[in-house]
Chains A and B, each alone.
Chain A
Amino acid sequence: MVKKIRASDMMTCAISRLLEDGETVFHGVSSQMPMVAMLLAKKLHAPNLTRLNIPGGVNPANIAGATYSSAGADLLASADAYFPLEEIFDLSMRGKLDVAFLGGIQFDMNGNVNASVIGDYHKPKVRLPGGAGSAVLIPTAKKAIIWRTKHDKRTFVEQVDFVTTRGNLWKIVTPLCIFEFRHGKLHLDSIHPTSSFEEVQENTGFELLYDEIKYTEAPTHKELATLRKIDPHDIRSNEF
């Protein structure tokens, strides 16, 4: 086991590698880690990535100013063009958004996502921020990637309390591993080199499905050096 890799770096690099050159990709509010990962991909292996965000900045050159928000005017100030949120939604509805990054609080083996409530919808025990665009983007984007900086039995549960949306997930990236959703079930795709099968299983509320045990490639020196350059304030770690 490798211990000195930070979970935020591992996750950011893992997310970045899921993006392919030429794709059109969107991140929303409260999404600093995917925002950094998108620029990392663009710098390293996907120079023709088109990056979209809520304030409408197409391909912001600089994201270092997005210290407390991934929806601010700074993302438009260094962008190529203006393409606002409502048009991004329309684009996804037309089937032209390749990748959407979405959050959530609870996930289950059947690919249900909860970003809404714990307990009853109308009188919840815990009111969560809400799924933002998830419920329309997960079904329409070609690939939906979820990232969650917590991996425990309260996050990966047998059955979610509320189905904010479901289906058409592609990957879920956590501090311990990557899940892939296929044939209607979450499968363990790769375990980060900082973790182990036992640790993933201990922290997951359902029996892990997998075809083979694979490990995620550790962040490279080049990836880490690029991260330090594009994200000097380490906003990718804000959720930890």
Chain B
Amino acid sequence: MDKQVHLRDAAKLVNDRDTIALGGNVLHRSPLAFIRELIRQNKSKLHIVKTAGAHDVDLLCAVGAVDTVSAGFISYETKYGLATHYRNAVQAGKVKANEHACYTVISALRGAQMNVPFMPVHGLKYGDLLSMNAYFVVVEDPFGGEPVTLVKSIVPDVAVIHVQACDRAGNAWIEGPKFEDVLMSRAAKKVILTTEQIVPENRTKQKREQIDIPGFLVDAIVEVPKGASPGGCYPKYDIDEASLKHFITLTDETAIIDYIASFEKIDYRSKGERAAW
């Protein structure tokens, strides 16, 4: 089954108020072309789920597309500094920051993967994260051991994952670190892949044992070379330093919309048609 669609149509699968799990980690292999398309389509009140986010979450917060962020860490790391738009949105009370301990995001997704309402999580024993967040509850161990912390499962409506290659049916492999992407593809109700390249099925068949996400789990695929830019996508390209540095200087929403528009050519390079080979 050919699941290739245009970026526009893939983004239409996301509804306002959806819970979206984003693949990648900080500036690495984040589905940024898809994020930009969500913004072009004025999506709003999104709930973003990720262990550690950066430009993806910052960009969505900059244009008021976000209601809640469930994550362990949101920042560009040391060199590119803090996620200013995310911070401002949380500080202004526009975005709810549901702070997790990274592992609790993983546990919440594991709960979704197994279709249980919560997961016991060892290690989270002390502190204000436990008392301030309704998604953590400490209960007695029904089998008589120590008290156990539970984290409420997070069932993403959509997982959006950028991969290096997949075939038309969505059989995909990830080169380099996979981060939490494989788990997300199992936990979410719908899976959308953006891919650097669509390859013939005889190639994915040769790599069947290395397929990280089998096509039957995938709802739509979009071919977007440079779809993780200005973040990096190993081993194809590293971050676009000039673009990130420029973005960091932008403060008002119009300038940010222009910045997003400047990627249109790259993001729409593939028309969602069958490539000729």
Chain A residue at smallest Cβ distance from B101:
A135
Chain B positions within 8 Å of A130 at CB level: 71-75, 97, 99-100
A193 within 8 Å of B (CB atoms): no
Determine the residue in chain A with the shortest Cβ distance to B78: A238
Q: Is residue A72 contacting chain B, with contact meaning CB distance below 8 A?
A: yes
Which among B14-22, B23-31, B196-204, B265-273 touches the partner chain? Answer: B23-31
B176 to chain A, nearest CB (A): 4
B129 at the interface (CB under 8 A from A): yes
Instruction: Judge whether B103 is part of the interface by a CB distance below 8 angstroms.
Output: yes
The answer to whether B155 has its CB under 8 Å from any CB of chain A is: no
Q: Kindly list chain B residues whose C-beta atoms are within 8 Å of the C-beta of A139.
A: 123-126
**Structural contact, A132 and B72, CB atoms closer than 8 A:** yes
Q: How far is the CB of A123 from chain B (nearest CB, A)?
A: 5
The number of residues on chain A lying at the interface, defined by a beta carbon within 8 Å of a beta carbon of chain B, is 53
Residues from chain A with a CB closer than 8 A to the CB of B124 are 135-136, 139
Which listed segment binds A: B2-10, B217-225, B232-240? B232-240
Q: Does B138 contact A (CB under 8 A)?
A: no
Of B80, B122, B127, the residue contacting A93 (CB under 8 A) is B122
Contact check, A73 vs B28: say whether CB atoms are below 8 A apart. yes
Q: Are B91 and A73 in contact (CB under 8 A)?
A: no
For B195, the chain A residues whose CB sits under 8 A away are: none
B86 within 8 A of A: yes
CB under 8 Å from chain A, chain B span 216-271: 232, 234-235, 239
- Is B157 at the interface (CB under 8 A from chain A)? no
Is B141 in the interface zone, CB < 8 Å from A? no
Taking the nearest CB of chain B, how far is it from the CB of A116, in angstroms?
Answer: 6
Provided the pairs A32-B78, A68-B27, A163-B126 are in contact, do residues A136 and B104 lie with their beta carbons within 8 angstroms?
Answer: yes
Residues of A109-148 contacting chain B, CB below 8 A = 112, 116, 121-127, 129-137, 139-140
B179 is contacted by which of A68, A77, A85, A116 (Cβ under 8 Å)?
A85
Contact present for B25 and A55 (CB under 8 Å): yes
Most chain B CB atoms below 10 A, which of A84, A89, A137, A167: A89
Cα(A48)–Cα(B165), bound, Å: 37
What chain B residues lie within 8 Å of A70 (beta carbons)?
77
Chain A residues with CB under 8 Å of B101's CB are 131-136, 165
Q: In whole Å, how far is A16's beta carbon from the nearest beta carbon of chain B?
A: 19
Residues of chain A lying within 8 A (CB to CB) of residue B121: 136
Taking CB atoms, residues of chain A closer than 8 Å to B99 are 116, 130-131, 164
8 nearest A-B residue pairs (beta carbon): A73-B234, A136-B123, A55-B177, A73-B176, A129-B75, A135-B101, A127-B90, A132-B73
Q: Can you list 21 A-B contacts with CB-CB less than 8 angstroms, sorted by A residue number?
A: A29-B25, A29-B73, A29-B77, A30-B75, A68-B80, A69-B26, A71-B25, A76-B176, A82-B177, A85-B51, A85-B102, A116-B99, A129-B74, A130-B71, A131-B73, A135-B101, A135-B129, A136-B124, A137-B103, A139-B126, A165-B127
